[in-house]
Amino acid sequence: MILSTTDFIQGQNIQNYLGVVTAEVVYGSNALRDFFAGIRDVLGGRTGAYERVFEKGQQDALKELEDRARKMGADAVLGVQIKTDTINIDDHGVLMLITASGTAVTM
């Protein structure tokens, strides 16, 4: 399975466009609120622990995107985009949302 941010794969002909495919990964984090507060204290410093959480989330979202595209019969997903966001549950909880999307195709 090829995942690409481009609209085509050099040397390959697209046979069929199977449609948009998406994958969502949601991580609960009761420490996310503290993370944002910590950023204010560090004044722009990096937080490696949360960078690793987002990196894993992106990998998980791409894996899920690949799995869903494969179920559609795709050979590749083109125009892949990854977006991150947060979902506020209440005053005490935040979820991290990582979404991957693209166009499933056969070649």
Task: For tokens 């399975």, name the residue.
Answer: 1
The predicted structure's pLDDT at residue 16: 96
Does domain 2-9+21-106 sit in CATH 3.30.110.70?
A: yes
Helix H or strand E segment including 78: strand 76-90
The answer, yes or no, to whether residue 3 has pLDDT greater than 80, is yes
More confident residue, 3 or 28: 3
> Per the structure block, which two tokens stand in for 87?
């979902």
* Sign of the dihedral defined by the CA atoms of residues 50, 47, 3, 87, in that order: positive
For 8-66, what is each residue's pLDDT tens digit? Answer: 899 999 999 999 999 999 877 655 546 654 665 555 666 666 677 788 889 999 999 99
Task: For tokens 């995942």, name the residue.
Answer: 3
Domain boundaries, the chain: 2-9+21-106
Angle at CA of residue 95, ends 90 and 97, nearest 5°: 140
Contact 86, 96 (CB under 8 A): yes
> Per the structure block, which two tokens stand in for 88?
């506020």
Q: In the sheet where 93-106 sits, what is the strand order?
A: 2-3, 76-90, 93-106, 16-29
